[in-house]
């Protein structure tokens, strides 16, 4: 699995910009697939049905290999592509951006449009919560209670995530480690407990880490 940067899920982020009486509104959202990206664009278009243009772009996939942009009536290449390029510059994927324009009566020209759509998209992304989707390895660690305080102190110092704790005859901790940390972690546990522990590697999980 590849780590990647995206927008935090569950919220729509926005920003506004005005130039030569034209008003631009950016809306940014995390999307997982083309269907959700299209639904987001349609939702913004429906909300701002009275706008002159609702231009959009999105990038999908862990490697950002699925890309689409739409000028929505603006001159070709002056709106959708600048929005797309702004997403790329921020190294984001699974991200959709819609920039709405209310025409103010003064034409901006091709260069002005490119700058306005790029800038508005950048403002929207700057206002967004960006996260990195990081692959963690789940580790089940079982040990006697007399080692618990020492191990918990070690976990706090190393900022290792504890997903779950099961208190029974022995204590079992479900930990989340970066894949390249597992080997050194086991060496540390061996030292801390004099090899009195059981460890099982479970599955991998991808979690958002705020950038």
pLDDT value, residue 1: 56
pLDDT tier at 211 (50, 70, 90 boundaries)? confident
Angle at CA of residue 150, ends 147 and 152, nearest 5°: 100
pLDDT tier at 210 (50, 70, 90 boundaries)? confident
Taking the model in full, what pTM does it have?
Answer: 0.84
Domain that holds residue 91: 4-128
Same structural domain, 37 and 124: yes
Same structural domain, 119 and 143: no
Q: Please say which residue of 110, 128, 146 terminates a domain.
A: 128
CATH of the domain at 105: 3.30.230.30
43-91 pLDDT per residue, tens: 999 999 999 999 999 999 988 999 999 999 999 999 999 999 999 999 9
Contacts of 18 (CB under 8 A, 6+ apart): 24, 104
Same structural domain, 111 and 11: yes
**Residue 156 φ/ψ region, left for φ over 0, alpha for ψ in the -120 to 50 degree band, beta for the rest:** alpha
pLDDT tier at 152 (50, 70, 90 boundaries)? very high
Q: What is the mean pLDDT of the chain?
A: 95
Same structural domain, 44 and 122: yes
**Residue 145 φ/ψ region, left for φ over 0, alpha for ψ in the -120 to 50 degree band, beta for the rest:** alpha
Same structural domain, 34 and 108: yes
């Amino acid at each position: 699995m590849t780590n990647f940067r995206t927008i935090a899920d569950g919220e729509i982020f926005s920003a506004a910009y005005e130039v030569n009486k034209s008003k631009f509104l950016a809306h940014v959202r995390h999307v997982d697939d083309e269907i959700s990206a299209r639904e987001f664009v349609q939702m913004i278009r429906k909300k701002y049905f009275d706008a002159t243009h609702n231009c959009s772009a999105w990038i999908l996939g862990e490697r950002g290999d699925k890309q689409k942009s739409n000028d929505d009536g603006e001159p070709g290449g002056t709106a959708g592509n600048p929005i797309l390029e702004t997403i790329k510059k921020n190294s984001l994927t699974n991200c959709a951006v819609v920039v709405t324009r209310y025409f103010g009566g003064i034409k901006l020209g091709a260069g002005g449009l490119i700058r306005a759509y790029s800038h508005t998209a950048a403002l929207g992304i700057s206002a967004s919560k960006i996260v990195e989707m990081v692959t963690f390895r789940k580790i089940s660690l079982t040990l006697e209670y007399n080692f618990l305080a020492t191990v918990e102190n070690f976990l706090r110092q190393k900022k290792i995530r504890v997903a779950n704790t099961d208190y029974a005859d022995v204590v079992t901790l479900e930990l989340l480690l970066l894949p390249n940390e597992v080997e050194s972690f086991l060496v540390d546990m061996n030292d801390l407990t004099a090899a009195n522990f059981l460890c099982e590697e479970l599955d991998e999980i991808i979690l958002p880490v705020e950038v």
